[in-house]
A = this chain, B = another copy of it.
């Protein structure tokens, strides 16, 4: 009845070696976790700045099959020799390393260094000189899948932009709304990374919701503007407020914009159904069912639902993703599949770990 979801393309004996740097962090660890389930990508080495020489099992105790790997350094020289290199480093650290890797190595950057097309936007939001943009790793954006096929440099989207873009791009592309988008997104704490900061302590975050980066100052904002403007074919403004809620993983993005004249619920739904009819990782929920982050935990899926509010004259769209999976590491491997000519879904989980 149902085929095996993790089906291995058995005729293809080809495998690729993968090196992951930043493997001791949350994003890098998630790349390793997903590689354990990928039939043709083989984790061949883990690297990190500060933990070189330690057993991975000590730092990432959930990565049982890789527990005895010893963490290597993160210089470009130590990353040469892999077929695929995944960079899961803090923003600003990827570009210099990537520049030294062979041109035919598939390099996938989970950081921000190559996401923005506009050098002025880079300068404003991150500072310094821009390293140039790479093909943007969101295959669900119209026209994007083709750019990723066969690519050897890929910029993985930020976790917030993944959720917000998938929530709102169809509305903007179809002209359902005016281009003034308001987003409030609730994120789990892993989005803030594994660095030991007081405000991220369990004692601080459990039982508490908080806002941060309010007023349009979060660095993911220009990435949303870029994506949604591309979808709309015209400039889009985004008011983005991120909030932190007491869970490790997950983003719930609540997005809205003023309805364009003449748009009703049926028209809105039709546009989303058309946009996502063939997307393997986007699940437009049946009417009346709303996304929960638990349902996508650990999966490469996105749940989307929409509603029209006639009183307020707005379209409201909610998307749920796992910030580490579809929001980062899963999206990265989805792009790797495309770049390497594999079926796009190879080795990627469609089932969330719930409850």
Q: Which residues of A contact B (CB under 8 A)?
A: 1-8, 10, 15, 17, 26, 29, 32-33, 36-40, 42-45, 55, 57-58, 60-67, 180, 182, 184, 186, 188-190, 192, 194-198, 200-212, 214-217, 221, 237-241, 243, 245-250, 252, 254, 256, 283, 285-286, 289-299, 301, 303, 305, 307-314, 316, 318, 320, 347, 349-355
Structural contact, A2 and B43, CB atoms closer than 8 A = yes
Structural contact, A207 and B250, CB atoms closer than 8 A = yes
Q: Which of A215, A216, A247 has the most CB of B within 10 A?
A: A215
Structural contact, A245 and B248, CB atoms closer than 8 A = no
Q: List 19 A-B contacts (CB under 8 A).
A: A6-B36, A6-B38, A8-B8, A10-B10, A36-B349, A65-B350, A182-B182, A189-B203, A194-B203, A203-B248, A207-B247, A207-B248, A207-B250, A209-B252, A211-B318, A214-B254, A215-B307, A217-B307, A239-B316
Say yes or no: A294-B245 contact (C-beta < 8 A), given A6-B39, A8-B39, A209-B252.
Answer: no
**Cβ 8 A contact of A246, one of B1, B37, B238, B246:** B246
Say yes or no: A1-B292 contact (C-beta < 8 A), given A202-B246, A249-B355, A316-B215.
Answer: no
Structural contact, B252 and A214, CB atoms closer than 8 A = no
Nearest chain B CB to A74's CB is how many angstroms away?
A: 18
Kindly report which residue of chain B lies nearest to residue A33, judged by CB atoms: B351
Q: Which of A307, A310, A313, A355 has the most CB of B within 10 A?
A: A355
**Cβ 8 A contact of A204, one of B202, B212, B305, B347:** B202
Kindly report which residue of chain B lies nearest to residue A240, judged by CB atoms: B312
In the complex the two chains form, what is the Cα distance from A320 to B244 in whole Å? 13
